C-alpha cells in the first residue's frame, strides 16, 4: 500500500473520539484511582498525575505535529527526525556508561540506521517524504535503533567489565583487539537482535501491532493494513540490525588503543572525554 | 652480549594529580637471553606490571625499555606479543576442547603439532579431545602453557603460574618450566615462592614498592641479599 492510499483511506469513514468522548474515557482513570485507593496502594495521586500528564504531553505533541505537517515540509520533518536521533543517542549512551565515547557511538549508530532504513524506503518509493509519513515512520525507526543500540552497548560494557581476562588472554597470543573481542561482540549483537527477531516471528499471533491496528481503526481493510505492517516489521528488523552492527563496530574500535590494549571503563559517574579516549601515540617504525 | 630486555629508569604511574601512585619507580634492569629470571616481592610491588610492560599490555610512563637493543614500542605490537608470550596467573581457556584451544593462536595447527605441544607440557595425546571445562587447574594451566608455546615464542612471561594450583599440580607445571629452561627458552616469571625461585631461577629480581631492591644471580640474591631486599626475603623464607 502506498502512503497516498493510506492518506485517502484515513480520511474516509474514520471515527475519531470527540473531546467529550475523550472526557468520558477519563472515567476509566477514575475507576483505576478508586481501585488503587481501596487497596491502599498509595498510588492514587501518581495514577492521576500520570493520566493528566499523558494527556497534556499528547496534546502538545499533537499540536506540534499538526503545525509540522502543514507548515514545515520536508526540511522540518528531517529536523524533527534528527532531534529524535539526538535524544535517542543520549538515552542509549546511558546504557553504555563508562565506555569510551559512548554518546558519540550511540548517536552515530542510530543516525546511520535511520538514514539507511528511511533512505531505502524512500528511494524504493515504499513511503513518501510527506511529513505525515516521514515523522511517525522515522519515530518507529529511531525507537527500534535506540533499543538495539542500548542492548549492544549494555552487553559490550558487561563484557569489558566481566571478561577482561579472557580478552587479554587472546591479546597476549598476538590477536588484534578486534579479533580478541570478536566472541564477545558476537554475543552482544546476538542479544541485541533476538528481541526484534522474536517479535517478527510472532507478529499477528500474540499481538496486533500498532501500525496495523491504527490503519484498521482508520477504516483500512485488514488485508491492506497488513501490507503496511509487513513493511514496518522489515523496516524495524533492518534498523535494529544496522544500529546494532554499527554500534558494535564503533565501540570495538574505541575500546582498544593503537597498541591493541583494552581501555579501562571510566569510573562510575565518570565521563570519558575525547582527550582521554585518544589513541596512545606509537612510533611509526615497525620492526616486524 | 647485549641484554634481551633493558629497562632504564622505567616508571609506571597510575592516576593523576594528588591521587597518583607509582606501580614502578626508576627500574633499571637487564634480562639476558636464554635465562630464567624470577621476580619476587610483596603484593603490590609491581611484579605483574613489570611483566605487562615486556609484551606491551602496558607502556612505561617514563624511562626507556629496549627489546633486542631497540625501543620496544618500535616493534609491531602483534608480532612482539607472538614472540614474547604471556601465561596468566589463572588458567583461562578460550575454546570448548583442548585442540580448539590450542588452535586459537595458530588456526592451522595440525593434530601432530598439537600432540607434540601436549608432550612438551607433559599431557597425553588423549587430552586433545577433552573438553576444557572438565580440566583440573593444573591441566588447564599446562594447556595454557602449550597454547603459548604454539607460537614458538622467544620469551615466555609467566605471572605466578603455579599460585592458583595445589602443590601436586604446581609441581607438575614447575617440571614443565624446568624442561623449557633446559631448551634455552628465555623465561621471566613472577613468583611468591622463594623455594621455587631457588629451584628454577638463574637470576632473581626482588621488587619492593615498585623499586628493584636487589637483582643478580639466584644463589647470591637468596643467600646474601642487598639490605633493601633483606626484610622481604627474611619475612617469607
Predicted confidence at residue A286, as pLDDT, reads 37
- Edge-to-edge, what's the strand order for the sheet holding B155-159? B84-87, B155-159, B186-190, B36-40, B203-208, B211-217
Tell me the per-residue pLDDT of A128-147, one tens digit each, with 9 for 90 and over.
988 888 998 999 999 999 99
pLDDT score of A182 more than 90: yes
- What DSSP character marks residue B155? E
Contact call for A280 and B104, based on CB within 8 A: no
**Cell 582527550 identifies what position?**
A275
**Residue B123: helix, strand or coil by DSSP?**
coil
Q: CB-side exposure of A73: number of CA atoms within 13 Å?
A: 1
**Residue B226: helix, strand or coil by DSSP?**
coil
**Of B70, B78, B151, which has the smallest distance from its Cβ to A176's Cβ?**
B78
Total residue count of chain B as it appears in this document = 237
Q: What is the mean pLDDT of chain A?
A: 86
Asked if the C-beta of A261 comes within 8 angstroms of chain B's C-beta atoms, the answer is yes
Residue A29 CA to residue B219 CA, distance in Å, equals 85
Span A35-64, average pLDDT: 92
Answer yes or no: are the C-beta atoms of B200 and B38 closer than 8 Å: yes
**Residue A88 contacts by C-beta under 8 Å, 6 or more apart in sequence?**
A106, A107, A110, A142, A143, A145, A146, A149
What's the grid cell of residue B116?
607434540
Contact call for A287 and B92, based on CB within 8 A: no
Answer yes or no: are the C-beta atoms of A221 and A242 closer than 8 Å: no
Tell me the per-residue pLDDT of A155-180, one tens digit each, with 9 for 90 and over.
999 999 999 999 999 999 999 999 99
pLDDT score of A5 more than 60: no
Percent of chain B with pLDDT over 90: 65
Residue A261: list chain B partners with CB under 8 A: 56-58
Answer yes or no: are the C-beta atoms of B25 and B13 closer than 8 Å: no
Residue A261 CA to residue B97 CA, distance in Å, equals 27
Residue A204's pLDDT band (cuts 50, 70, 90): confident
What's the grid cell of residue B231?
626484610
Residue A25 CA to residue B188 CA, distance in Å, equals 77
Residue B175 CA to residue B121 CA, distance in Å, equals 9
**Cell 643467600 identifies what position?**
B223
Enumerate the β-bridge partners of residue A183. none
Answer yes or no: are the C-beta atoms of B9 and B2 closer than 8 Å: no
Tell me the per-residue pLDDT of B94-133, one tens digit each, with 9 for 90 and over.
999 999 999 999 999 999 999 999 988 888 999 999 999 9
Higher pLDDT, A243 or B177: A243
Predicted confidence at residue A118, as pLDDT, reads 95
Residue B126 CA to residue B130 CA, distance in Å, equals 7
Residue B19: list chain A partners with CB under 8 A: none
Residue B57: list chain A partners with CB under 8 A: 168, 171-172, 261
What is the separation of C-alpha A222 from the centre of its chain, rounded to a whole number of angstroms? 27
Residue B171's pLDDT band (cuts 50, 70, 90): confident
Residue A282: list chain B partners with CB under 8 A: 73, 77
**Residue A5: helix, strand or coil by DSSP?**
helix
**Of B58, B79, B104, which has the smallest distance from its Cβ to A170's Cβ?**
B104
Answer yes or no: are the C-beta atoms of A144 and A236 closer than 8 Å: yes
What's the grid cell of residue B126?
588423549
Residue A284's pLDDT band (cuts 50, 70, 90): very low
Distance from CA of A198 to the nearest CA of B (A): 28
Predicted confidence at residue A4, as pLDDT, reads 39
| ipTM for the predicted complex | 0.91
Give the E-state strand segments of B17-172 in sequence order: 21-31, 36-40, 62-67, 70-71, 84-87, 155-159
What's the pTM? 0.80
What's the grid cell of residue B27?
627500574
pLDDT score of A2 more than 50: no
- DSSP output for B51-65: HHHHTTSS--SEEEE
Residue A175 CA to residue B25 CA, distance in Å, equals 30
Q: What is the mean pLDDT of chain B?
A: 90
Predicted confidence at residue B229, as pLDDT, reads 85
Residue B12 CA to residue B65 CA, distance in Å, equals 12
Residue B62's pLDDT band (cuts 50, 70, 90): very high
Span B173-200, average pLDDT: 87
**Residue A282 contacts by C-beta under 8 Å, 6 or more apart in sequence?**
A258, A259, B73, B77
Tell me the per-residue pLDDT of A15-38, one tens digit each, with 9 for 90 and over.
788 999 999 999 999 999 999 999
Amino acid at each position: 500500500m502506498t502512503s497516498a492510499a493510506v492518506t485517502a483511506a484515513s480520511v474516509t469513514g474514520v471515527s475519531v473520539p470527540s473531546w467529550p468522548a475523550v472526557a468520558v474515557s477519563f472515567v476509566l482513570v477514575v475507576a483505576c484511582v478508586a481501585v488503587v485507593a481501596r487497596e491502599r496502594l498509595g498510588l492514587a495521586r501518581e495514577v492521576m498525575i500520570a493520566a493528566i500528564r499523558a494527556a497534556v504531553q499528547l496534546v502538545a505533541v499533537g499540536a506540534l505535529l499538526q503545525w509540522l505537517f502543514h507548515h514545515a515540509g520536508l526540511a522540518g520533518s528531517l529536523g524533527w527526525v534528527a532531534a529524535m536521533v539526538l535524544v535517542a543517542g543520549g538515552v542509549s549512551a546511558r546504557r553504555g556508561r563508562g565506555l569510551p565515547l559512548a554518546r558519540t557511538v550511540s548517536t552515530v549508530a542510530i543516525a546511520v540506521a535511520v538514514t539507511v532504513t528511511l533512505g531505502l524506503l524512500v528511494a524504493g518509493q515504499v513511503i513518501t517524504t510527506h511529513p505525515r509519513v516521514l515523522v511517525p515512520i522515522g519515530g518507529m525507526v529511531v525507537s527500534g535503533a535506540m533499543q538495539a543500540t542500548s542492548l549492544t552497548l549494555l552487553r559490550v560494557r558487561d563484557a569489558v567489565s566481566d571478561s577482561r581476562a579472557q580478552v587479554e588472554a587472546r591479546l597476549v597470543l598476538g590477536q588484534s583487539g578486534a579479533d580478541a573481542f570478536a566472541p564477545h561482540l558476537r554475543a552482544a549483537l546476538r542479544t541485541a537482535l533476538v528481541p526484534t527477531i522474536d517479535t517478527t516471528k510472532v507478529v499477528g499471533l500474540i499481538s496486533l501491532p500498532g501500525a496495523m491496528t491504527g490503519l484498521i481503526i482508520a477504516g483500512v481493510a485488514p488485508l491492506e493494513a497488513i501490507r503496511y505492517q509487513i513493511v514496518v516489521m522489515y523496516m524495524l528488523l533492518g534498523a535494529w540490525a544496522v544500529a546494532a552492527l554499527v554500534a558494535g563496530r564503533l565501540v570495538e574500535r574505541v575500546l582498544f588503543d593503537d597498541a591493541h590494549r583494552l581501555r579501562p571503563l571510566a569510573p562510575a559517574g565518570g565521563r570519558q572525554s575525547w582527550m582521554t579516549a585518544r589513541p596512545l601515540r606509537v612510533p611509526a617504525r615497525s620492526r616486524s | 652480549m647485549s641484554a634481551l630486555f633493558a629497562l632504564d629508569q622505567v616508571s609506571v604511574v597510575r592516576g593523576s594529580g594528588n591521587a597518583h601512585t607509582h606501580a614502578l619507580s626508576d627500574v633499571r634492569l637487564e634480562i639476558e637471553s636464554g635465562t630464567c629470571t624470577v621476580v619476587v616481592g610483596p603484593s603490590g610491588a609491581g611484579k605483574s606490571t613489570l611483566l605487562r610492560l615486556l609484551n606491551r599490555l602496558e607502556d612505561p610512563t617514563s624511562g626507556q625499555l629496549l627489546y633486542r637493543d631497540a625501543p620496544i614500542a618500535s616493534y609491531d605490537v602483534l608480532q612482539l606479543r607472538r614472540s614474547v608470550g604471556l601465561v596468566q596467573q589463572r588458567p583461562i581457556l578460550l575454546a570448548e576442547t583442548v585442540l580448539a584451544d590450542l588452535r586459537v593462536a595458530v588456526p592451522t595447527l595440525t593434530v601432530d603439532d598439537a600432540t607434540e605441544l601436549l608432550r612438551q607440557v607433559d599431557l597425553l595425546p588423549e587430552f586433545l579431545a577433552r573438553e576444557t571445562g572438565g580440566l583440573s587447574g593444573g591441566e588447564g594451566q599446562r594447556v595454557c602453557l602449550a597454547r603459548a608455546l604454539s607460537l614458538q615464542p622467544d620469551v615466555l612471561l609467566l605471572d605466578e603460574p603455579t599460585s592458583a594450583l595445589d602443590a601436586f599440580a604446581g609441581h607438575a607445571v614447575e617440571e614443565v618450566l624446568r624442561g623449557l629452561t633446559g631448551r634455552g627458552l628465555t623465561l621471566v616469571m613472577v613468583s611468591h615462592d622463594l623455594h621455587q625461585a631457588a629451584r628454577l631461577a638463574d637470576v632473581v629480581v626482588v621488587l619492593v614498592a615498585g623499586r628493584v631492591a636487589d637483582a643478580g644471580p639466584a644463589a647470591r640474591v637468596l643467600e646474601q641479599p642487598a639490605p633493601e631486599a633483606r626484610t622481604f626475603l627474611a619475612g617469607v623464607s
